[in-house]
Amino acid sequence: MKQKSAREMQKRLHELIPAGGHTYSKGDDQFPEIAPGLMVKAKGAYCWDADGNKFLDYGMGLRAVAVGHANDEINEAVCKQIALGTNYTRPSLIELELAETIVDLIPSVEMVKFAKNGSDVTSGAIRLARAYTGKKFIAVCAEHPFYSFNDWFIGSTACNSGIPDEISSLTLKFNYNNLQSVEDLFAKYSNQIAAFILEPAKAVEPAMFGDKNFLQKLKELCDKNGSLLILDEMISGFRFDLKGAQHIYNVDPHLTTFGKATANGFSFAFLAGKKEIMELGGIYHDKPRVFLLSGTHGAESTGLIAAIKNIEIFKRDNVVKHHWDYGKKFKDGINAIAKQKGIDKNFAITGFDCSPVVEARNTEGAIDLSFLTLFSQEMIRGGVLIPWIAFSKSHSDEELKITLEAAENALTVYKVALENGVQKSLIGNAVKPVFRKFN
C-alpha cells in the first residue's frame, strides 16, 4: 500500500484529534502553510518530518529540550531505568534522590512535589496559595501569556468558553514592572488576594525601584499584604540559570514552578517552595488537608531519571552558559543581516540572549503577525524550523552558520515584502493568537 503523504496524514489528524494534536502551540494556526505537518524523528538540534525532510530546530519540543533531541547519555539512563520498571506501588528511591537534588540546587526551595505538566504544578501552587492564605483571588501578570490549561487561568483569556464567570472573575491582572498596578489591586481587593503569579523575566529586565528590582518590591508588597509570590520558571528555569531567573534577580519567592527544560523533553515538572506552605499538602499535620498534586504518573520514573541526568549534564557542561553564548552570536548575527539590508527598524531579534524573541514589524513599525509568519516561512525554505527561539547544547557553530545563511535569504524576501506588500510573498494565512474567542 502506498504510504499517505504527510499532508494527507495531517488532514486525517484533524478528523481524529480536535485541533489535530495535543498542544495548541503545535497547531496549524501557529505555523506557516509550508511548515512540516508531521514529525517522525529528532536528534541533536535537528528534526525530520514524515516526508523525510530535515530541519534545524529552534522549537525544541516547546522549549523542553535543552541538551539536544534524543541525547545518548540521557536516553541510556532512561533505558536502564525502564528495565527496572517505570511505576511502583510506593514512592521510589529516585524520587528521594531527585528531591534532594532540587532542594540542594535552588535556594528558595525547601520542599518539592513532582508532576508531568507545567499546568498541573502552577495549578497546584494556586490551590496551595488559596489554602494557606484563606483568600480567593489570584493575580496574574498580564504581559506573560500562559500559566496553565486549567480553568483558573484559561477563564481569564479570550478563549474562556466552558468556564463559568464565577471562576474567571477570581483571576485578576497586574502589569510587569508596574508597582502601581500591584498597589491598585491590593487597594481594590484588600485582604482578598491569595497570590501573584508571573514569570520572573520574559523579554525585559525587571525594572529598578531605588536599590530593589520589581520582583523584590513585589515580594515585599506580597509579604506586607498577606499574599504569596509565585515565580513561574517554566521557561526561564534552566535557561536563564540552572537555579532559575530568581537566582539572577536575587528574589526569594514563596512558591516556584519549573518544567520544560528540566528533563530534556521527558515529561517532568515540579512545584516547590517554603516548607510551611508546601507542608499543607502533607499527611502529618493537624491543619485542613490540601489535596495537592496526586497523579498516577506523577513519579513515573522515565521523567525523573531524565531530570537527574539532565541536571548532571547541565552542571558538568555548563549548558546555561552555552545558551547565553550561542544566543548572543545568534542575535548579533541575524541583527547584523537586518541592518546590512537596511530593515533593522522592521526586523530584530530582541530579548535575552539565552531566550530571544523575534520582533517582526510592518512598514508602519507595528508588530505584525503576517511579517512574523513570512520570516518563519522563509526560514523553513532554508531548512530552519523557528516558530520561536529555543536553544540546546547541540546548537553549535555549524548550526549558527546554517541559521545565518537561511536568515540572509529570509530577510531578502522580508525586505521585498516591505516594499511590495507582505501578501505577495506569504503562502496561506498568517499565524493567529492562541487565545482568541473564535477560530
Chain residues binding ligand PLP by CB under 6 A are 117-119, 122, 146-148, 199, 232, 234-235, 259, 269
Smallest separation, CB 154 to ligand PLP (Å)? 11
Smallest separation, CB 267 to ligand PLP (Å)? 8
What SS3 string covers the chain? Answer: CCCCCHHHHHHHHHHHCHHHCCCHHHCHHHCCCCCCCCEEEEEECEEEECCCCEEEECCHHHHCCCCCECCHHHHHHHHHHHHCCCCCCCCCHHHHHHHHHHHHHCCCCCEEEEECCHHHHHHHHHHHHHHHHCCCEEEEECCCCCCCCCHHHHCCCCCCCCCCHHHHCCEEEECCCCHHHHHHHHHHCCCCEEEEEECCCCCCCCCEECCEEHHHHHHHHHHHHCCEEEEECCCCECCCECCCHHHHCCCCCCEEEECHHHHCCCCCEEEEECHHHHHHHCCCCCCCCCCCCCCCCCCCHHHHHHHHHHHHHHHHHCHHHHHHHHHHHHHHHHHHHHHHCCCCCCEEEEEECCEEEEEEECCCCCECHHHHHHHHHHHHHCCEECCCCCCCCCCCHHHHHHHHHHHHHHHHHHHHHHHHCHHHCCCCCCCCCCCCCCC
CA separation for the pair 214, 225 (Å, rounded): 16
CA distance readout (Å), 365 to 38, 346, 396: 34, 6, 33
CB nearer ligand PLP, residue 130 or residue 260: 260
Smallest separation, CB 374 to ligand PLP (Å)? 24
Smallest separation, CB 432 to ligand PLP (Å)? 17
CB nearer ligand PLP, residue 147 or residue 196: 147
CB nearer ligand PLP, residue 416 or residue 434: 434
- Residue count (the chain): 439
CB nearer ligand PLP, residue 47 or residue 201: 201
CA separation for the pair 271, 348 (Å, rounded): 35
CB nearer ligand PLP, residue 307 or residue 374: 307
Smallest separation, CB 51 to ligand PLP (Å)? 28
CB nearer ligand PLP, residue 148 or residue 310: 148
* Grid coordinates belonging to 227: 499574599
Q: What are phi and psi of 15, to 5 degrees?
A: -75, -25
CA angle 249, 254, 259 (to 5 degrees): 75
CB nearer ligand PLP, residue 92 or residue 148: 148
| Residue of closest CB approach to ligand PLP | 118
CB nearer ligand PLP, residue 44 or residue 118: 118
CB nearer ligand PLP, residue 114 or residue 414: 114
Q: Among positive and negative, which fits the CA dihedral 51, 56, 59, 63?
A: positive
Smallest separation, CB 419 to ligand PLP (Å)? 36
Smallest separation, CB 147 to ligand PLP (Å)? 5
Smallest separation, CB 122 to ligand PLP (Å)? 5
* Grid coordinates belonging to 438: 473564535
Smallest separation, CB 394 to ligand PLP (Å)? 21
CB nearer ligand PLP, residue 337 or residue 386: 386
CB nearer ligand PLP, residue 24 or residue 324: 24
CB nearer ligand PLP, residue 137 or residue 146: 146
Smallest separation, CB 232 to ligand PLP (Å)? 5
Smallest separation, CB 218 to ligand PLP (Å)? 16
Match 540542594 to its residue by C-alpha cell.
Answer: 104
Residue 309's identity, in one-letter code, is K
Smallest separation, CB 9 to ligand PLP (Å)? 24
